[in-house]
Structure formats: C-alpha cells, structure tokens
Structure 1
Amino acid sequence: MAGGFTSAVVIHSHSSLLLFLPLFLLLLLLFSPSNATSITSLFSPPVNYLIDCGSSTQTLLQDGRTFRSDRDSSSLLSTDEDIQTSVDSINLNASSSVPPTSLPLFNSARIFTDESTYTFYISKMGRLWVRLYFFPLPHPSYNLTQAVFTVQTDRFVLLHDFSITDNTSFVFKEYLLNVSDSRFSLKFLPKKKSLAFINGIEVVTAPDPLILDTAISVFPPGNFHGIFNYALQVCYRVNVGGPPMAPNRDPLLRSWETDASYNVFPQGSQNVSVSTKIIKYPQNGEVTPLIAPSSVYSSAMVMKDPKVNQPNFNLSWRMNADQSFSYLIRLHFCDIVSQNLSQLYFNVYLNEMMGAASLDLSSETKALATAFYQDFVLNSSAITNGSILVQVGPANLQQGIPNAILNGFEVIKMSNMANSLDGFFSVDGKYKGPNANTLALKVAAAIGLGFSMTAMFLVAVICFRWRQRPHGWESKDSFSSWLLPIQSTHPGSLCSALSKSSSRRSSIFGSRKSRSGYSGYLTPTGIGRFFPFDELRKATNNFVEKAVIGVGGFGKVYLGTLEDGTKVAIKRGNPSSEQGINEFRTEIDMLSKLRHRHLVSLMGFCDENSEMILVYEYMANGPFRSHLYGSNLPPLSWKQRLEICIGSARGLHYLHTGAAQSIIHRDVKTTNILLDENLVAKVADFGLSKANPEKTHVSTAVKGSFGYLDPQYFRSQQLTEKSDVYSFGVVLMEVLCARPVLDPTLPREQVNLADWALQQHRRGMLYKIIDPRIADTIACGSLNKFVEAAEKCLEDNGADRPTMGDVLWNLEYALQLQEAVSKIDTNEDTTANSIALEQANESGEKGDHSGTQATEESDVTDVDSMMLSQIAHFEGR
C-alpha cells in the first residue's frame, strides 16, 4: 500500500440489523470455522455514526451498512455553508487500497471554506474508531486538489495542512481515539484562503479488549504503559502469507492487505496455509476473532529451504514510517507448521533490535494452531531511516525446528508531545515540538566555542610554522599547502574543516533538511572533501548509463573524471533503496576512522539536493570476482591470486586489530574485494560493518550474503570477528575453484561451494574441482597450506577458527612456498607437477597421509634454509 495508508477498515452493521439477527447468525455459523472459539455473538457498537458527506440520500454499501446523508444529520454539523459536490459514479484506481465496497462513499463530498464542526453524542466512553474518506471530486467553483486544511478533535490533531493533489486515487485515514466525554467533535479548519472537504466519516465504538494499555518497549527495553493516553492511527494491517481480505471476511469488517509489497527478501521465504477450521483461540479469552480473524492465523510466511546447507536470512518486512513518532506494532502468530509442541523457537526484531528472544508459541498457547499476538512499542528515536523493519528468525538451530513464522502484523502510529498525529502543532495552533530556540542557542554556543578554539589553535600553528618555515616558502601560493597537509589522516583534522566552503555550513550544523527527508547531519571533518552535486554530475556526464561500473543494494556506482583528470568511483544512493541513509552513515563513519593500503579510500561525499553520494578512489581492475569467473578477462595466475588474498587478509586483519576499535566487516565476499591498476587488493563496502569495542560479540539481526554467511552467527545472532573469518574461508575456496559460491543449477550436494569443496578435500578429490586453468601450476606445498587455511576458516564453531592474523600468516607462507619452488626449478615440467598435485590431493586431508607428506617434504626440504630466513619478515603479524 503506497504512501503509508492502510486499507479501508469498517467494523459495524446496518442500523436495523437486530431485525435480521437470527438469519445473520445462521449464515455466520454456516460460513465460519467450526471450532469452540468461533464467533458466537456479533459485536454491536453502542456508538455507530456512519455519514456520507454531501450526499442527498443515504448510501447502502455491499457489506450491509447504511451511511446516512449529513443533510439528514444536520444536527451533527455546525457550519454556515451548504456546499456539496457529487458525481454519478467513480472508477476504482488500480493502485488504490480502498476496497470496492466503500466506493459509493466517494461519489459525494462536503466542502468547507471556513471552520466547520461535526459533533457526535457518545453513549459509551472508551476507544472510538474514527475513519475519514477523502477524494477530490470536481466542482465548478472549487478545486479540491488545491485544498489545504487541518482536521482535529477537541484534544488531538489528526491532520495538519493536509492536501490531496492526486485526483486519481482515494485516501483513507483510520484512527483510534480514547474519548471520556459525552460529546465528540471533529473540526475541519481550512488554511487561510483555502478550503477543506470530506467524503465520508465513521465514528464507531471499538471493542474494549482491542487495544491494551501496556506493551513491550523495544527501545529502551522494558514495559511500556499508558497507551490509553495516546491517539492512534492505523497505518498498515497486513495478512502475511495470505491473500488480501475484504471487510466481509472479518468479524469487525476490517480489511487486510497482502504482504507482497513489504517483503524485503521474498526469495528466502515461502507461504504456508491451513484450513481456517483448525485454527483455535485460547480458552482464557485474551485472543478472540475480534483481535484478528482465523483467516489471518491460517496463513503465514516461514523460512524457505534454498536447497543448500547454508542457513537462511531472517524473514523481513519493511514499511515507511515517520521518524518523528513512536509506533505500536502488533504481530500475529500461530504455529501451523510444527508437528509437536516446543519445536519452534524464534527471535523477533524491530529495526534490528531484539523484541522477543527465543519466542516459544507452545508455552504461550499450550497448543498448536492457536492464535497469539504480541504488542511492541518502537520509540521514535529508534526510527532513523524513515522505515520500520520487522524481522523474525530462528533462535537456535540446535533447539527445535530451524524456522520462524509470522502470520500478520499491524503498524499503528502514536500521537506525539503536541497530541498530534501529523506534525508538532497542537489543537490551539501552537508549535510544541523540540524547543527550536533552545536548540539554536546551543548550536550558536557550540559554534562560537568552536571558532574560538580554532582561532587559538590556528595562531599557535602559524607561529610555530613561521619559526620552522623551510627555504623557499614564499613560493607557496596556498595557505593550507604549508599550514597543514591537505589529506590529513587524522579524523576531524583542522585542514579538513577549513577546506569546506561556507555554502555548506547549514549542512554541517544540521539545520538543513533536504526534499527527500534526509537531514544534513553530516559533519565533513575527517571524511575527505565535500563534492558539490553539480561537480559530480559533470564528472559523470550527468550520470549517464554508460558510466555505470557497478550496481549494489545502495545504488549504482559510476566512473567519474574530476576537473583535474582524477578518476573516481561515485556511488550514488537510490532514493528507493532499502539500505538508505543508515548504510550511507555507516560507510562514512567507518571509513573516516580507517586508513590502510588494503582498504578502499573514501575521498568525500555529497548530501545536497536530496542526494546521498559517496566518492571513492577508482579501482581500475574492478571486483576480484570478475577475474575469477563470469567475464572474458584473462585468468589470474596462482601467485596473483595468493597476493590478492594476502592483501585482503591484511585489510581485514587491520579492521579486527589495527583500528581504534575492532570492526567487523560483515559482508566479506569477492565482489567487495576490489583491485587497482596494479592488482593490489582493497576491501570495500562498509555499509553493514559493526564496531565491536569489547572485542567479544555484537548481538544483531543477521545480515550478509548468501553462501558467505557464518552459520554460528545465523544461529545465535551474535556477530564476532570469526564471522568475517568464515566468510573469508568461502572466498579462499572461490579463489581456488573459480565458481560461484552458490549455484542452484548443479546437483544438490554441489550447490554450496564451501560444503562441496570440504567434502571433496576429505575424499582426497579436491584436485577435480580446482580451476583447470591454473591447476597444473600450483606447487603442492603451497596448495596444502592454502587449503589448510581455508578449511580452518570454515569450522562450524567460531572458537575453532583462526584469527585473521593466523590466516594471513598461512597465506604468506603458501606464497613463499610457491615462489621458492619456482626459483629452485623454473624449468620443471608442469605435467610432472600436475601429477604430483593429483597425488597430493589423493592422499587425503591436511597432508596427514603419507603420500602428501612425501610430496610436501620434497618441496619444502630444499628451501628450508631460505624460508627460515624470510618468515621473520612476514607482514601483518
């Protein structure tokens, strides 16, 4: 559902339904699930106002409800005007989320040019559904697409400066408001020199148990109390794994949409369903069909088997959200996949934070196929990228079924400090958001202090440089060229700050907000140069498609040429990218702290004109993978491959041990190892990286790439440096065999390269899957040491894996062995070497059998003295 609007939700019956109640109940029994907890009585709302605004007659909907004309309910409407408009019929827009049953409500509208109020008399206090229908119908004197207006109650602002410029789609808004007075008012306030309009209104009692006063707080963790005090707006109501549901399939006449447009990774999920007849509701009455119908609980999404031994990702759904508000998130569960109790354990994550750990539906419901729901509150401070990410994933593969399930979810916005659901203006028109004056004073004070400290430091540096000035300094034509080095490696260096133009000050101090909603929070200090958007557009010839050299989850990568002739790689964020500003920020935060020959350097960034762009040094030879398979590039020699692996290992070893705090890359793969013009390897793409200050583990939702993902990380959701080590082990096998790490076109046991290579090695048949273009050039000792390193990296238990420093040592040793053999016998027949290679592999695992020992000894004995003198000089220890 585009734009964050929920499907139309309707809950009540015809005003004269009591006359037909026996017949209705008979039909209900015929078509409802036949179980003990089926609907046994119809919820009859004490308050039930259904208004077709601007209509001259009452309107009967297909679901049996009758909407009265607001002309017949004139006592409800206080206005000095009588402006209506109507049409004979409206065609449903294909993209509209409003069910066809509600279409007649959009045939007419009431128009206001001044403040007007509907007043409803409330016979029962408590929660009310308030549903509003909008569609800008044509009118000879008023253009409703130019209407700008506010809708509010006596206490809450529902819409502020609201407008609908699109006259092809219907708009539906649904609210839940707690009312404690005998009268409830709904006010329409046109903006000055504008107008307001409304097509339909529902004000109906909601069942008391529908929304509880407490929920689980995700951040900060704990319990959240006081939901009754908030106004709520239903943004999404989704039937996960099932079809969309029309209102007549819900006991409260609600509408549910399918999850297809929100499923982030449909390839890793599959839908399951059972008959609604087997769905049960708990005997304690905490969950009833009023919470969600059995049709929601009878379908679900579960983990999909990719026909490989590699674990799956978490099931994930992403929805747009306003990061100025907190959200109540209701998740619906029903175990329709287990054969016995206590087989299904899974974790629940909201925006990558733990919501529920090792959730066991059996302990909650005491039975299978039994409805259960859980409410969570996600604080506004936890919504940093304009979206809400709901994830479920297995808690522990060694306990129960390695699976996870979700049957449905609802995302509900909560009112803010201004008692508003749209902005920070209260019902009296006053701004009650974050204190802008206080914030401005704090910023001004910080700026003043910063300039003072900078001036003092600058004077001191100038005086020092004056005394230490070299001969010929007068020829320098740039102040910064002798004051401080331009490319300082110290984050937050003065020269970096001085090199920024004043036109970007608003971005530096966070006062600007771009049109796309990305805030200009980025300080340019320590992250290289700020690139104006026009300069990058010129460098890429207006981002022409011919300049594209790569495409990733963040967006496209372009080859650009700056005015001085420098070639750069320009990664331009896609506004619809799921990765978005979080990974933009992560990439900058990480690379601003890192400097290493084997890490790709960030030259600068651009965050103007709603753009998120990162500028890197250009790596002329592209991704490592392109040189292994899938392209027409000439194959790399074994020595070249070893050198690239060593360079990559050095970069990762630096991340783990050499940076200010340990950093876990989390997405090590051959496409993230780039090669410069000299085939020097550099690790790239830090969008998923995580800092690990305690050097233990980081608890986080599973992310990474299929085929490279650490199985222990997947099971425990605990990320460690050894997760990178596992991924690097997969890279080593990919380098040796020159084939994709996952290839579903192959027989099942061969699909996963890491598993297949280990199996072949243990059978003594690894030589059969080595890249044939280099197989006969590899020295046996070098091969054994390389495979030994890869095998240790791929240990299932992270504690059994080596550190990146140990891996680096073994790879350098393998290179020395290869070079030593080449020096001793440069004219050796490659055919003989190939035979020796085959014999070595046939001898079995790790060189433990006699055949391999003899072969390796013949390689190593002649070079022992040479090797001992060189090992002490290995880099990266």
Structure 2
Amino acid sequence: MSTNPMRPFALCISFLSLLISMAADTTSPYSPTDYFLLDCGSSSNTTSFDGRTWGVDSASKFSSSNAQNVSFESTADRQQASVEQVPYMTARIFNSQFTYTFPDSAGPKFVRLYFYPAAYSGIHESDFFFNVTSGVYTLLSNFSASLTVAAMEPQVASIVKEFIIHVWENQILNITFSPSPSFYAFVNGIEVCSMPNNLYISDSQPIPLVATKYLFPIDNYTALETVYRLNVGGASFGGERDTGMFRKWQEDSSYIFGAASGEILQGNDTDIRYTPATPAHTAPTAVYSSARRMGPVTNINLKHNLTWIFPVDSGFYYFVRLHFCEIGKHITRVNERVFDIFLNNQTAQEGADVIAWSTGVGIPIYQDYVVHMIQYESRGKQDLWLALHPNMDTGSWFADAILNGLEIFKLNQSYGSLAEPNPEPVRLPLPVLQPQNSKSKGLSAFTIIGAALLFGIFALLSLVYFFILGKRERLGCWESGKAKMKSMRRGGFSLPRELCRHFALSELREATNDFDDVLVIGHGGFGNVYKGYIDGGDTIVAIKRLKSKSKQGAHEFLTEIEMLSKLRHRHLVPLIGYCEEEGEMILVYDYMHHGTLRHHLYGADNDPLPWKQRLEICIGAARGLDYLHAGGQHPIIHRDIKSTNILLDHKWVAKVSDFGLSKMTPSDDPVTTVVKGTFGYMDPEYYKWMKLTQKSDVYSFGVVLLEVICGRAAVDRSLEYEQMSLANWARPCIEKGMLDEIIDPLLMGQIADDCLEKFVETAYDCLLDQGIQRPTMDDVVARLEFALQLQDNADATAEALTLTVSE
C-alpha cells in the first residue's frame, strides 16, 4: 500500500498545533504554512523528546538522486548526557557538494541546522570543515562544529545554527553543503519553518542605526542569523512553548555583567494582552510575564546600570530587538518608570517609558535598533553591551529600568555572507597524575613514567596539530584556496612568468619601505595598496598585498594573474607582476597617478571633474568592459564594476581594474554561481536568481554612470530611506523628467541638453529590471560616443556664436 511521504509532517504539525493551543502561556499561536523536519542519516521516521516527528532525508523529495554517490549515513560514536537522541545521533556525511531542496511557499523562513561534533564512521570530529550556502547567501564558511562547540560559553555538546531567509515567488529553497578541500561535511538535522511576513523584516519600516541620525533598511533581500534569544528574568524553555515557530528562549543570567544583576519580576497574575502592534506570535506570554528590573533602592540605582554583555562577530551589523511589558503592581501610569537604553556605550533611546509606548499594564511592546560592530584586525569577537539606566530628567517617580526579553540577529554583509572565522582551538590541560599507595609503589613508578611519556607525546602532537589547525582557522578559506593553488600547479598550472614578472618578497619590502603605512594609497577587501618604487626607484608601481584575514584569497589572486596576464587593452589596468612567497600574495600594477574615478566625483578634496572629461572617462571604461565581453576567445564577466575599480592614469585615461571576482564563460549563456560583488552596484536579477550574465556588468556600469552625473555614492546611508540607494532614487526621477533633482550641481550649465538626454537615457536603460532589456556594452559605447559628439557639436556652435558676437 502506498504511503504519503508528507503524512508524518502533517501529523506533526497537527499535533503541535493542538499542543500549543492547550499551553497556558500562549495565545493564538502562528500556524506555519511550511514546516519540514529532517533527521539526517536516519533510516526511518523518528520522534524527538518534544514530540515532533522527523522524516528521513535519504531517497526523499528533499535530496537529489545522487545522494548515495556523494554522501553516506552514519551514527555518532558516542552520546553525551546532554545530547538528545533525535536528531543528533545520526548524521549525513558528505565527501562532495550536496544540495537539499525544499518546495516552500513564498515568504520568510527559519532555517535551523543541527550539529553534534563527534566521530562518524571512523572520521574524527576534527576532519569536518565545510561551507553551507543557500541561494546567494553564505551561511557558514570553512565551519568546524567541533571548534565552535568547544569555545562556547556556557559549555554545550551540540549546537543549532538558526537563520532567516526569504523565499521568493516560484523559488525553491536550496541548502548546499560543500566540504573544504581534504575535509568532510556533515549535518544531523535540518528544520525549515515559515514565519509571518512582518515578524522581523519589513520593507517599509527601516530601523534606527545607533549613534547616528540614520535609518537602516532591513528588507527581504537581507538574511539574518540568530545570535541570542533571551527570556530575561525567566527560565529557559524549548520550542514547544513558543508561538508556533519553535524558537528556543534562554535565561539571561549568563550574560549579566557585574554584581548589579537587578531583581527578578514575575507577573504570573498579570493578563498579557496582545495588540495589532504586538501580535500574539511576537513572543510567548512566558517572555512578557517575567522581567529583570534594577531594584527598589533608588539612590543605588542612580549610581550604576543594569548591564548585559554579548560576544558577537566583528565587522557585521546587528539587529537588536528588546521586548518590554509592565507587569509590576506599582507601575501603572506614564512617567513612573523612565530609563535610557545604551548599546555599545552609545545612546539608543532616551526616556524609554514602557507604559507610554504600550498604553497600559500587561500590554507587550518591542523596540528595534541596529548596531554596527566595526571590524578589528586583531580579533574576531567583540562584546556588544546593553545597558539600562534610570532617567530622572522627566521627574519620573522611580529610579528604575526593566527588560522582559531580547533577540539579537546578525545581518549579512554586502556580498551575502553571514559566516565568521572559527574560534581558536582550545588547548585542553593534561590530567594530573595522582600518586599511588605504598603497596604498589614499583608498579606506580612504572605507570607514572609510562604515562608521562605518553602524555608528553600527546602534548607535542596536540601542539603541532593545534598550531597547524589554528593557523588554518585564522586564515580561513585563504589556506584552502592556497592548497588549491598548489594542486593546480601540480596539475600543470604555472604562473605566467613569460608575461608576468615574478618579484621576490625582499624586492617588494624594499619598494615599500617594508610596507610602510605612509605609502598606503588604497584599501579594499583584498588588503592594502601601497605606492612603491622598483628598479632602483626609476619605476613607480601600485602594490596590492593580500591580508591574512581577507575575504578574498588564493582563488581571486590566481584569477587576477590569469586574467590580466592574457589581457592587453588600453582601458584595462596593466599587471606588471606578482609575488607568492612566505605565505604572502602580492600583485604589482602600473601606478595610476590620479587614483580612482570615485575620488574625483565626491567624498574627497580633489577638484571636480568637468563634464566633458567625465564623459570621456565613461567612454574609456565602457570600451574596456566591452573588450572583456567581446574582445577575446571567451567572454569575461567582471562581476565588480564600480567607481573605485575604474582607475585614472597620468593622462586621465580610464582603466578597469580588480579582476579577482571575474568569470570567464564559454558562451553568452547565464552562469549559475554564488553571488559576489558590491552592494549598491549589484544586478538585482543576479542577486535574486544567481544567474550571472554580461548584463550584470551592464547594470553595475549603469550605476557608475549615475555616480558620474549625480556626483554621489551608490549607497549613502546618511540620506533618507527613499534616497539611500542611488539607482532606486534616480530611476523614478528620470521617469518623471526631474533631471534637475539628480544632476550634480557642479555640472550645471556644462551639459548640452541633447547630450544630457542621451547620457541619462543610456544610464536608465542599463538599469532596467530584466537583463534581456538592457543594452550590450558595445551599444553602451556607441551611445556614449554619440553623446560626446552631441556635446562637441553644442560646444562648437556655442564657440562660433561667441566669436560672431565678439566680432
């Protein structure tokens, strides 16, 4: 008899819906439209401790038909006391790239990945390093569950990584596991759960960016990773007590700073009343029924803060949601408890008054903020501080503050990554040998000597192992890329010495005065760019040095050398040579005396470029890009066209640079690839569907044309939300004929009307939503050359008119 494979999931959802509806601390929970649970590696459906039914992942609709060719099922070699049987004791092990597909409906989804680091089928837990991607997003990069779990505080044996990803109409949610070179990938369980559309992400409601006057947009193109979710003042509880989305809430005592931990409030007698502003699915009543306050002693409260500390990864923006609900019997009116909120020692909110926000006792409310954690070279983690302090300026009755719950989410970086480096390996202390009693003295001495020798050997091997592994993790994917580069050499690949000069590291140290910061002329994701002097000081060059924690690595290094050693064009930056020595990766280029196009458009003290010179620079850059698309044997897609990658030589000739992300394609057909590029310049069609074409470069070049005519950045977070994205702001203005609104004031009176019309039309067409509607770069070159001709004709006419009048 045939069996419906979705029946376990349907029964699970029905059972849980009934369970939640009966729970005392929830009201009208959310019912997910899509809910999938996979017990990876299991041979049959299983039931977890909380009553949920997990399906098998082999030969299912979620895995491809080649599952057995690139993966196998396994069981953990041990089960620690704190680790549940389901889903952690079975796993799917991957020795090659593998993708799960989930036929979801459109909308935001929770994606939860379950990991229990252990040995599987004789593969040690230290042999698992892998990437996890979903569409355009990198969720994990060179991830080690073993190192991650070992570094966690408080200590745990397993981990759940929770992400929020938006699924578009007619799109399938893909989750891809890719082992790092010479390693394996694994996963114990996968959970996918729908959520309400506006629970965390809203296209129409940007969020205050702390310490600025700006609003930060978090739209459906943003992916999030849950970092912390706390039931402040209350106990931890599992997903079965959540509001239909199976979120887990932790108690907050582990994160309280100092002795001033405040006082716990329990509002068991308070009726929690949800509102349209804070619907029932926002957070369970258990969160709003407990809180932490500063305490009743007013004079002491004024001398300190109620503070929590949260270690987070540097270099990311974080979305912080604070949950509030007045549940005390003494706070019933406005201005009775008023306090300030600080995030990272910056004022996030002055005069917070929960009653004023919510309009009454027992009515939940939340406040959202965005915090930027600046990237530091020396460390991957920083402490995000949350502090509450009484505000007595309004004459409030009580010097106090309150918090009921907290959620912190990491936001993806501009190129779609949520990944962070692995923690440094934890060196375990050696066991202390206890002396034996006198009856076994001879045997004890023997045992101690033997054990000491064994532990000495173990310690030595551990130090060697962790030194190597630690180095790998500090360099992240860079080391993997370098290994790939070496294997490419063994397979016949050779760096092109005949077309590209090889420099010794000592030469480049001498050329840059040992990489003196005084000679830094540029920064980027690759590293610093230095001005250098080679050949006895006769030749000035630009020297780009890969930094060890760069997001780019050996692959990009090789791509740049391969591309530029084969390409020669007036409008492409010339590569002189490279250095790959002592772990360094360095590229040497012709020195571009006038720097980047961007520095002559805005944000610098340089004299503004006149219109005709801007137009000539655009034509030169377009010619270089057209050469990439159509001038060689195979089309090349640059993939990172922007104003900082258009350089200007001593004669102001434009040259396209930075080919680390470029793709060589066999034809004009779209290439399916992970999305890379720069936010603000990225083709929305490529961003959404991962389909890279030459028209993706055309879109980016269209943004550059807007920068040239508007004299402003592609993304400016200092502006209002509607004007933040240059492309999104300029297009409606062009459609309405409001060109005076967007043109750089410094260009007023310089541009002939018909030239302006042709230039703006070209930029607009480059930015059309569908790539097939955009012009080719060959067409763009022709249009811009025609615009220059129109400008020359207008200038000639004006000059003739001036001579006639003067005569």
TM-score, normalising length from structure 1?
A: 0.44
Higher RCO (C-alpha 8 Å, min separation 6): 2
